[in-house]
Structure 1
């Protein structure tokens, strides 16, 4: 009853939709997976070392010089659906809670090399000279949080890691890490309670990034893993810095400090809330009224206006790995026709999207987005390989006998803006577009199950170039045929695998460029629109907030504290 009263108070406090401003708050998929990478700002900037990719200058908040104090609640917001809190296959709102409740061996943000590698359940690791044998030494004081789910409050050990790896490697689980395990992992075991060993089939450049990925690498108590999958989706029991207190569709997630967490000084926060908003406007207004503590938008003018109008707000301008895409299922006759897929790509005036949605800030997006530096195709090459050519697109549609196209889209975030532009651009070449809006929950379920025939796909964000290319590899982005376009070729599979197994970085970058060129020449069934920028607003009472930490931010929340 206490939690019901809590959510009731939250609901009563929420503001109504009244602002006329348009903008893009962080969507559900961005909570754990978003990698907002610093690009420089006149407000705060610190040089970043980026050993794996040519990232821009990082933007971070300087560590607080004040003495941290415990207490207070940090509150984020999102639009869309919670869609459960399964530790291994969540990608929407619930994914924001997973890395707070569970442990990971460690965390790593490829575009923030200056942050280093942050150990969590592991205390050290090494790869042998063979390049395929990875050994992880575990800490012995990671105690499972108090719970009423029958999970013993004991210390995590290597068997929990092995059982978590087994679930990640199980295709029916549809784990986000399945593609990594299926393609690259040969075997894993636990020589003793404090040691885990993982052997890859051949050297792979992104082992650490997959193991440390918020969406992939959660280590779960073996007793909890033994429960039905429905239980894992509805609740969470782990040994992380926070423990789940409440999760409710349409309301959000509430987490409180884990009194058994191995770091006795952290987290400083009493609670961490992730609040579910119906739309971006309501979320934005909640920021202005102080009901949430941080907000992200792709619209730089909106961010500046909010900062100017709201006392205590700070703005950090960042780059992002984020982008939106158009997805087509090629076992449907319309999208099986390469002419139609090519016409869709050629009808897309990306500069118009950038001007209208990005307010002039953004870049054309290929299979790998520009923030990855030399791993991405240049803007000039992208414009040649996926040109805007309305006349040629019209000819291709006419040759294929296509006068109208129907596609689905979620109603959350700024997706209606993308839809309106597509409808307009297709109409200009004589094709009638018939968009079919779906509420976020229905869209998520149908998209996950590959039940849609074509759809805008929102809030893509990947930690590595390799992860982004999984959309074009057999099995799709999860490896288990979820979100499946059903369009893959052995040649492209081989090029993606070649790139991932190339260890010298200069050669690896060349291999990824080669793979992307082959993808674009194949008339892919997953086409990207543009790479967005990002603007993070947060209240200055939140200390140790790092707006440019990317996926590492989920690890760093244990350092947040509220200077009330």
Structure 2
């Protein structure tokens, strides 16, 4: 009697079925934000978290090479680098044919090709007063011929912005050609055009189809589409099924071992490599950290409280290493700074006594202690407002901005008449009135620790510090309006150009978010205008140095530190490298869970 082969066939079929299912299982990247996304419309966002999602849906003309250090810009939707005039005022850019927007009901069943006119429209939207775009001041400063006038006319007449009027500085003479003409030379306009997060192309018919709901209906040409968005809870992106054929390529430096290894592993893979991205919104550090340790996230920043346990002495803890976890550490392109409102009667103005007060406050802050205790050693003292990895930043530059010297602070205060006249341990102003400074702050644990440390440092030189509490968003509105006396902020570079830092000192940026200190100085304004028009080189760096010296001497800002980024990721996340000035990387990593420990 012959044995039945049915059980064997069934087992083989089952094995084939399981193997096929495993091979077809989607690759899912799981990450977390600590703050909800506010909108997914490039023209209406400024927060980091929204700007991290949008460049995965929308595409700019250019992008940063993800592995190149120092930075390198390459075409994304553009067909080659721009053609420019000798004075960098005339820019001609070709848009690559055959790129399409993701399918959407707004297109009524038709494939919609990306054309040059989409970039004309997208830039005009930023200048439309009705959109109240945070990027409006950036475009105003760039000075596209005719664009500011078009905006001013809409404001003056209280009329709708005229999108159909052709202006000399922003034209699409044919389907794939974009021409930009500027009022002044702008040698680094290419860096602006590399920002797909806010300068990515949108289609006019999509904007008009969704109207006020456009912030929740992003439609771009990028590698992902929005699958779902539960406000304050979760965002899910999925692979754009109509995304063009695009393959992983990069140009890391020859001596960049990490970058070369990533390139060798991922070169030639179709983008996006993962099928789905799930972004959880987890506001508190501890739950977010526990979610990572439980394997619910693929990558996470290390909370400051967990740094001693996670990376003792700067090295990954053995128990985490055994779980297949890797440590990524780098110096951020960012800074933490305190601004003084120069319009405030207590800490403002450039009168010698007021300058002495701000310098004394700066000298009283024990920044090394703050770095060690609050940031768990993950930072370096700042010597100026300029940011690492950007032009204008010099790691060898040393200034009073980086000093902690209570004795010198007391001597300055004594010299300019800030004395303790009533013996209560706190100083009065030169006219005998009480001296009390006020710091705007937030009611979270980290802010409370910072508040206490600053209060103690100020008290050590005889200055009483009080606090003004409010939610971060409300404090930001008050800062724009010039209503806060002092506030501590963190800022990240959006481009490699130190000109962005100089905006903090430029008088025309008062009220727009660039110049929180409301600082006015004729020489600094002139430096800003000169630097904006100059090509990179020694002369430009010399002007940056002069700006740093003015900033230190008059002290409208006290820059405290530049932070180190510490991230942990499971080894099944392949190809991660922390970006410098850009936010997009989700489409450039792989998930291989079969290789994890």
Query: Out of 62, 82, 88, which is 1:106 matched to?
Result: 62
Post-superposition Cα deviations, 1:443-494, rounded to whole Å, max 9, x if no partner, equal: 45555565544322134434221112211112438x8357743322332111
TM-score, structure 1 length as denominator? Answer: 0.78
2:328 aligns to what SS in structure 1? strand
Residue 368 of structure 1 pairs with residue 386 of structure 2 = yes
Q: Indicate how the Cα distance of structure 1 residues 341 and 83 shifts in structure 2: closer, same or farther if over 3 A, else same.
A: farther
Where do 1:12-411 residues align within 5 Å? 71-88=26-43, 89-108=45-64, 112-113=68-69, 116-130=72-86, 131-148=88-105, 153-170=111-128, 173-186=131-144, 187-226=169-208, 230-263=212-245, 265-297=270-302, 301=308, 303-304=310-311, 307-310=317-320, 311-338=323-350, 339=354, 340-360=357-377, 361-372=379-390, 375-376=393-394, 378-383=396-401, 389-392=408-411, 394-395=413-414, 396=418, 398-399=428-429, 401-411=433-443
Moved more, 223-232 or 82-91: 223-232
Whole-angstrom CA distance in 1 between matches of 2:50 and 2:207: 17
Post-superposition Cα deviations, 1:302-354, rounded to whole Å, max 9, x if no partner, equal: 54256533312101221111222223434443343451544432332222222
Whole-angstrom CA distance in 2 between matches of 1:248 and 1:530: 35
Residue 518 of structure 1 pairs with residue 550 of structure 2 = yes
Whole-angstrom CA distance in 2 between matches of 1:449 and 1:229: 29
1:345 aligns to what SS in structure 2? helix
Alpha-carbon offset, residue 100 of structure 1: 0.9
Q: Indicate how the Cα distance of structure 1 residues 172 and 431 shifts in structure 2: closer, same or farther if over 3 A, else same.
A: farther
Q: Indicate how the Cα distance of structure 1 residues 365 and 253 shifts in structure 2: closer, same or farther if over 3 A, else same.
A: farther
Residue 561 of structure 1 pairs with residue 593 of structure 2 = no
1:399 aligns to what SS in structure 2? coil
Query: Which residue of structure 2 lines up, in the alignment, with residue 20 of structure 1?
Result: none
Query: Which residue of structure 1 lines up, in the alignment, with residue 502 of structure 2?
Result: 469
Post-superposition Cα deviations, 1:233-280, rounded to whole Å, max 9, x if no partner, equal: 344221211112233442142211111212363212222123222222
Asked if 2 retains the 8 angstrom alpha-carbon contact of 1:446 and 1:452, the reply is yes
Post-superposition Cα deviations, 1:106-161, rounded to whole Å, max 9, x if no partner, equal: 11379944563232221212233423222211122222223356787511111110
Asked if 2 retains the 8 angstrom alpha-carbon contact of 1:203 and 1:503, the reply is no
Query: Which residue of structure 2 lines up, in the alignment, with residue 530 of structure 1?
Result: 561
What residue ranges of structure 2 are gaps of 5+ in the alignment?
1-22, 145-168, 247-269, 419-426
Whole-angstrom CA distance in 2 between matches of 1:220 and 1:419: 43
2:547 aligns to what SS in structure 1? helix
Whole-angstrom CA distance in 2 between matches of 1:359 and 1:317: 14
Asked if 1 retains the 8 angstrom alpha-carbon contact of 2:575 and 2:588, the reply is yes
Query: Out of 568, 574, 581, which is 1:551 matched to?
Result: 581
Asked which structure has the greater CA Rg, the reply is: 2
The alignment of Structure 1 onto Structure 2 pairs a total of residues equal to 493
2:81 aligns to what SS in structure 1? strand
Asked if 2 retains the 8 angstrom alpha-carbon contact of 1:409 and 1:457, the reply is no
Query: Which residue of structure 1 lines up, in the alignment, with residue 529 of structure 2?
Result: 497
TM-score, structure 2 length as denominator? Answer: 0.74
2:311 aligns to what SS in structure 1? helix
Q: Indicate how the Cα distance of structure 1 residues 301 and 211 shifts in structure 2: closer, same or farther if over 3 A, else same.
A: farther
Q: Indicate how the Cα distance of structure 1 residues 510 and 80 shifts in structure 2: closer, same or farther if over 3 A, else same.
A: same
Alpha-carbon offset, residue 365 of structure 1: 4.0
Whole-angstrom CA distance in 1 between matches of 2:225 and 2:67: 29
Asked if 1 retains the 8 angstrom alpha-carbon contact of 2:363 and 2:400, the reply is no
Whole-angstrom CA distance in 2 between matches of 1:70 and 1:115: 35
